[in-house]
Structure 1
Amino acid sequence: MVHRQLAPVVLIGDLVASRESPDRRRLHRVVEAALADTNARVSSVEPLEVTVGDEFQAVYPHLGAALEAALRTRLALQPETETRYGIGRGATTTLDEARGIKDGPGWWAARRAIVEVEEQAERGAMQHVHTAYRLAEGEPDPDGTALAVEAALQCQDHLVGSLSKRSARLLRGLLEGMTQRELAAAEGISPSAVSQRVRADGLAVIVRCHELLRSLP
């Protein structure tokens, strides 16, 4: 049996309502620091970098890496700013290396995904959904993986978007491998209080979902 080489995965990120920031210079520095941290933790074909406007982009060898990068970056930027993500699988090319002009089906799919996320956010019931995954036209999906990933992302995003600032910090710590006792010390609360938040806010569910998604080829 001949196995088809999987196409790379494009990620396009965008800051939500960034023009309302009272200090856009500071916000830009915060974004660059978050992207640098994600780049240090997630292997890429082309690392995350700020592009035009309030967007940033990257290319990953696997879907799991793109999904991990999206979640890590979103959490790193909260509560400073909220972000949305379009992820697309398909061929890519560079039209202008000097100016960083990208093209190809993978980019078009990611662009379509982020536009659809923005449109979804206008509906109150979907306001916490900030990530979407789309295949480029002609990309095979015999097992319906794209739909399953979309369903998982919507559930994960809703949980993440519903977290308090403290629970979001606890989630970041859990993703970094910190124990509940270490998190309790960092937050100045009891281990039992951390345990209660992990259960009540579904933090363990988010972590497990993340572990499963990041393993996707």
Structure 2
Amino acid sequence: MARQSSPARATLLGDVIGSRVASDRKALHDQLSAALDQVSTEVDALDDLKVIAGDEFQATFAAVGEALYAALLLRLRLDPDIDVRIGVGWGPVTVLDAAHSTQDGPGWWAARAAIEWVEERQGVVGFERVRTAYRPAPDPDGPRAEQTPAVVGPSAAAVNAALLCQDHLVGSMDQRSRFILEGLMHGRTQTQLAQELGLTRQAVNQRRKHDGLAIAVEAARSLRSVQ
């Protein structure tokens, strides 16, 4: 089996929260797959978002920021029917089988560590709205991964501080505000969004101000620029 190592890249690994108790797992899978396909057309991915097993999905990107932007878009696209948690990693990736898109390596181990942290933190009081985390891979040549410097990449402390705030802000919104947030991220006007929701423009503007939607849009743009 051929193995091809690549330079460091951003890895995205996600899963559906509560999928095992879903009443119609086939419908859940179809809705998830459709959302993954849609978001893949809106971001710059090296490997498109796709379901890999059951309720898990993955993708790779050249930059951490693009992976974080894809994660937020997917959350908003699936709202309110499907809730997901997502880990983003940074590090080398090894292609084990190109024909079947089978990959491994420190970049994926970092994404796995990130999503496991999210799952653990969701059970802590005050962190119930956490959905996203980022981890850079440790130096694979170090004697012990936890004691070696991370592969050069964006600062985990800075990115995760922003993600904690973003998750709390988005998690505090109701369905309409999250719909407006996604619309603003795609450049739709408040008038267009008001028509789509059957609201007045003033009502949309009030939500934009009171729910921090302008801040959320700017934060998403800033995080997307992270290399």
TM-score range, shorter chain: over 0.9
2:72 aligns with: 71
Which secondary structure state, in structure 1, belongs to the residue aligned with residue 8 of structure 2?
coil
C-alpha distance after superposition, 1:55-84 (max 9, x if no partner)? 000010011110111000111111011000
Alignment partner of 2:44: what SS?
Answer: coil
Structure 1 residues 157-172: aligned runs within 5 Å: 157-172=167-182
In structure 2, the partner of 1:184 is 194
User: For residue 184 of structure 1, what is the amino acid of its counterpart?
Assistant: A
**Residue 47 (str. 1) matches residue 57 (str. 2):** no
| CA distance in 2 between partners of 1:191 and 1:34 (Å) | 28
In the aligned structure 2, how far is the partner of 1:152 from the partner of 1:186? 30
Name the counterpart of 2:104: 103
Aligned pairs, how many? Answer: 211
Distance 1:16 1:87 in 2: 17
In the alignment, the residues of structure 2 paired with residue 113 and residue 23 of structure 1 have an alpha-carbon distance, to the nearest angstrom, of 28
Cα displacement (A) at 1:18: 1.0
Residue in structure 2 matched with residue 140 of structure 1 by the alignment:
152
Cα deviation for residue 101 of structure 1 reads 2.9
Q: Relative to structure 2, which stretch is displaced further, 147-156 or 168-177?
A: 168-177
Q: Return the TM-score normalized by structure 1.
A: 0.93
TM-score, normalising length: structure 2: 0.89
Report the CA distance shift for 1:6/1:163 in structure 2 as closer, same or farther (over 3 A).
Answer: farther
Give, in whole Å, the separation in 2 of the partners of 1:84 and 1:18: 12
Deviation, 1:206, is 0.6
Structure 1 unpaired stretches of 5+: none
Q: Which residue of 1 aligns with 2:216?
A: 206
- Which aligned segments of 4 or more residues in structure 1 are displaced greater than 6 angstroms? none
Please, which moves more after superposition, 68-77 or 93-102? 93-102
Aligned to 2:144: none
Inter-partner Cα distance in structure 2 for 1:81 and 1:124: 22
Root-mean-square deviation (Å): 1.5
Counterpart CA distance in 1 for 2:184 and 2:215 is 11
Question: Share of identical aligned residues, percent?
Answer: 46
Listed one character per residue, the Cα deviations across residues 22-74 of structure 1 (whole Å, up to 9, x for unaligned) are: 11111111101100111101111111110112100001001111011100011
For 1:185, the aligned partner's letter is Q
Q: Is the 8 A contact 2:14 2:87 kept in 1?
A: yes
